[in-house]
Amino acid sequence: MLKAGTVRALGAMSGTSLDGVDAAVIETDGVAIAGFGDSGFRGYSDAERAVLRRALGCWPGEPGVSEAAALVEAAHAEIMAGFSDVALAGFHGQTLAHDPQVKGTHQVGDGAVLAARLGLPVVWDFRSADVALGGQGAPLAPAYHFALAKWIGAEAPLAFLNLGGVGNLTWVDPSKPAPEAEGALLAFDTGPANAPLNDLVQARRGTSFDEGGALAATGAVAAGILDRFAEHRYFHRMPPKSLDRNDFAELAEAVAELNDADAAATLTAAVAVSVMRGAEFFPMPVERLLVTGGGRKNPVMMAMIAEGVGCGVEPVEAVGLDGDMLEAQAFAYLAVRVARGLPTSFPSTTGVAAAVGGGEVSYPERAA
């Protein structure tokens, strides 16, 4: 049983950008944030990244999935074992495929294996319950974004933008009493973020990402490709809505004949367009957009977004948060909510019929 009051929880996240595993500790009672603890990062090697890439788009039992699962479990155990004095851990796993309308959602990594290796209760499989009840299963961080808005003392509506492999937006009204309150949250995936750009530079330059936007800065945006992208049917769908990493594969195909710099510039501009189209759905305008995830370190991407959305665009560090660890922190926060029977997703964030608490808890004595 989880003791009453504030506890120290460890969260870990391996995103669709496939850079590695983030791990971070927060102090929370599952409602309010009391403080932040240590954090760490365990990067994937090129060989490990190749194993994960081969499994992308695969479902349970398909070739490459078991190898990816073993890699994910080992990498997470390695980084998470370095933390002490925590009550429980939240383990997201690695998303390989996401198709909530048809097949569901697939994250590899067994929380029971981690519970045995770490000697800690591990909360995992956060998305399945939401999908089973008609939700998108994503995004899941909005409950944490609501708590962060309270933590920083926000009074007016604001938005969090996560630029990982896929982009997602959370609009927050911090005047509401709880994330499940009507009008407190609206969240949805915006479109491709770093994934197509990372794939491009990996294939053409042998590097994992466009550091500092240096390649995109030297290129010219292909306006025709961008115009066609802006009219994609996804942008006309009402939120909540979610995406798989490869849902915009046609964008990568469209830039295939461009030179490296122009292709990078076009893919970077596409991120800005998708955020701009997403902001059109906000219930009320926001004065600031706080950006987390790797994309916030790309000044070209950030400048393009700022030009398109018409409000202040800042990395979350501007309000004292850690944009490298925010997603990992979110799963620490959600783990406590699951353990306490609190909802983790809502009609306005995933489209689920009613607020639902997802997640399975594995205990080390039962997993050994």
Q: Residue 165's pLDDT is what?
A: 87
| Residues ≥6 apart with Cβ < 8 Å to 114 | 73, 76, 77, 80, 89, 91, 122, 124, 362
Which long-range contacts does 174-183 make (Cβ < 8 Å, 24+ apart)? 174/146, 174/149, 174/150, 176/146, 178/31, 178/146, 179/142, 179/143, 179/146, 179/147, 179/343, 179/346, 180/343, 180/346, 180/355, 183/283
pLDDT tens across 340-361, in order? Answer: 999 999 999 999 999 999 899 9
Q: How confident is the model at residue 17 (pLDDT cuts 50, 70, 90)?
A: confident
Identify the CATH class of 153-319. alpha beta
pLDDT tens across 146-159, in order? Answer: 999 999 999 999 99
| Residues ≥6 apart with Cβ < 8 Å to 20 | 14, 41, 42, 43, 44, 75
Lowest pLDDT segment from 14-23, 271-280, 299-308: 14-23
Structural contact between residues 152 and 128, judged by C-beta atoms closer than 8 angstroms: no
Peptide bond into 240 cis (omega under 30): yes
pLDDT of residue 50 exceeding 70, the answer is: yes
DSSP state for residue 3 in the 8-state scheme: P
7-135+328-367: what fold?
Nucleotidyltransferase; domain 5 (3.30.420)
Q: If you average pLDDT over every residue of the chain, what do you get?
A: 95
Q: How confident is the model at residue 321 (pLDDT cuts 50, 70, 90)?
A: very high
Could you give the percent of the chain with pLDDT greater than 70? Answer: 99
Q: How confident is the model at residue 1 (pLDDT cuts 50, 70, 90)?
A: low
Q: How confident is the model at residue 100 (pLDDT cuts 50, 70, 90)?
A: confident
Instruction: Kindly report the length of the chain.
Output: 368
Q: Residue 245's pLDDT is what?
A: 82
Q: Is the pTM of this model over 0.75?
A: yes
Q: Residue 366's pLDDT is what?
A: 58
pLDDT tens across 187-205, in order? Answer: 999 999 999 999 999 999 9
Instruction: Locate CATH 3.30.420.40 in the chain.
Output: 7-135+328-367, 153-319
Structural contact between residues 65 and 95, judged by C-beta atoms closer than 8 angstroms: no
Q: Residue 368's pLDDT is what?
A: 47
The CA–CA distances, whole Å, from 217 to 199, 271, 299 equal: 18, 15, 9
Most confident among 162-166, 225-229, 245-249, 362-366 (mean pLDDT): 225-229
pLDDT tens across 269-296, in order? Answer: 999 999 999 999 999 999 999 999 999 9
